[in-house]
Structure formats: C-alpha cells, structure tokens
Structure 1
C-alpha cells in the first residue's frame, strides 16, 4: 500500500489559488442514512443512502495586507463560489485526482488567536451541489 505525506496541497476558491496561505485543507463528503427497517428485516436494521453533503474545512495563515487572503475572502462572505482541492499541486492525474464543486462562504474570522500565536484563520464551508472527482 502506498503512503503519502502532504507537502504541496493545492486549494483554490473562486478560481484563486490560495495554496500559499493554506495550512490545512480537508474535504469531507457523506450520505445520510435513512432507516428503512421493517418487520421483514428480522431484527436487523436496514438503511438506504439519502441526501449527500460535504464540507471544506480550511486553516489559513492570515494576511490583512492589500490583495492578500483577508482582502480575497472578505468580499466572498455570503456567496457560493467554486472550489478545487488536490493532494498535490502537480498536474491532475490518476495518482493526483482533483475534487471540485461549490461551497457557501458562510463565515470568515479576520482576527483569531492569542498572545504569541501565529495569525491564522480556521473556517469550514458547506458544499452546495455536487462534489466531483476527476483524474484528467
């Protein structure tokens, strides 16, 4: 089994490559489980998949200078924008698939941390619509 260490993850929001600010990017997707158990299930729970959803959780190193991460993210607050994430910033391939879709920028934390902390921003955005995986 191959193993990997994330060294050059790629993350873009609204078509802007934010990899230089990104410290963590986590895309999770899930399907609701709907209970369809009947007496005919003979005491075993039966489930079917329901609605799919996802979330893109990110941690950025903050920069409030003009044209930097804060000025990029602030105008997106409350909008649905596209995203793309890859395990590596290299070309999309069968060993480096890209995941794309749209997310709602539902929050932004311009100032976060305590005395002596690096200025970072932890946020999570719910997906809106389908998330796709591509290898080309």
Structure 2
C-alpha cells in the first residue's frame, strides 16, 4: 500500500491558485442518514442516504499586499455567491494517482485579522459546498 506525505497540495478558488498561501486543506463530503426503521426492522436501526453536502476548510498564510490572499478573498466574500474550487493532493498533473476534486463553495466568512502578539498572521476558514463535488482523473 502506497503512503503519501502532503508536501505540495493544490488549491484554486475562483481561478486563483492559492497553493503558495495555504498550509492546510481539508475537503470533506458526507451524506445525511435518514432513519427508515420500522417494526419489521427486528430492533435494528435502518438508514438510507439523504442529501449530500461538503465542506472545504483552509488555513491561509495572511498577506495584505496587492494580488495576495486578503486582496483575493475579500472581494469573493463580498459577492455572497458560490465560487468555484479545485483541490488536489499534489500540484502535479491530474491523473489516476492524483485526482482533482472540483465544485463550488460559498465564501461565507473571511478573517482579515486574527491572532495574538508574536503569532503568524493566518486565517483559518471553512466554506460549505454548493451543489455537487466531482472527482476526476483526467
């Protein structure tokens, strides 16, 4: 079984490659469990899958210069509309061993300033997906 260390992951939001401003990427997907238990279930709970949802959590290294992370994310936050995203475990070409996950997320929060004296300027955010998240190897 192959093992992998995340060294050069890829993140793009609204067509902006933010990989060099990111130190953590977490894409999760889940399906609601809907209880369909009846008396005929013999005392065992039965479930079916309901709506699917996802979350893209990111830790950015903050930078306020023109064309840097704050100047990219603040306008996306102000749009109040879902933005496209793409994530990959590695920034190499998409392929069978490096799939890409794409979809849209709502930029529902932005943290321009957070931290204490002596901390690295970072922004840790979490965005809900909007619509389907797809996986592709080509």
What TM-score comes out, normalization by structure 1 length? 0.99
Structure 2 residues without counterparts, runs of 5 or longer:
none
SS in 2 for 1:20: helix
Who is 2:16 aligned against?
A: 16
Who is 2:126 aligned against?
A: 124
**Residues in 2 aligned to 1:25 and 1:36: alpha-carbon distance in whole angstroms:** 35
**Residues in 1 aligned to 2:43 and 2:109: alpha-carbon distance in whole angstroms:** 44
**Residues in 1 aligned to 2:7 and 2:81: alpha-carbon distance in whole angstroms:** 30
Query: After TM superposition, where is structure 1 displaced by more than 4 Å over at least 4 residues in a row?
Result: none
Query: How far does residue 79 in structure 1 lie from its aligned partner after superposition?
Result: 2.3
1:1-136 equivalence runs, <5 A: 1-77=1-77, 78-136=80-138
Structure number with higher helix proportion: 2
SS in 1 for 2:73: helix
Structure 1 residues without counterparts, runs of 5 or longer:
none
Q: Give CA deviations for 1:3-60 in whole Å, capped at 9, x if unaligned.
A: 1000000000001100010100000000000000001110010000000000000000
What TM-score comes out, normalization by structure 2 length? 0.97
Report the aligned-residue RMSD: 0.5
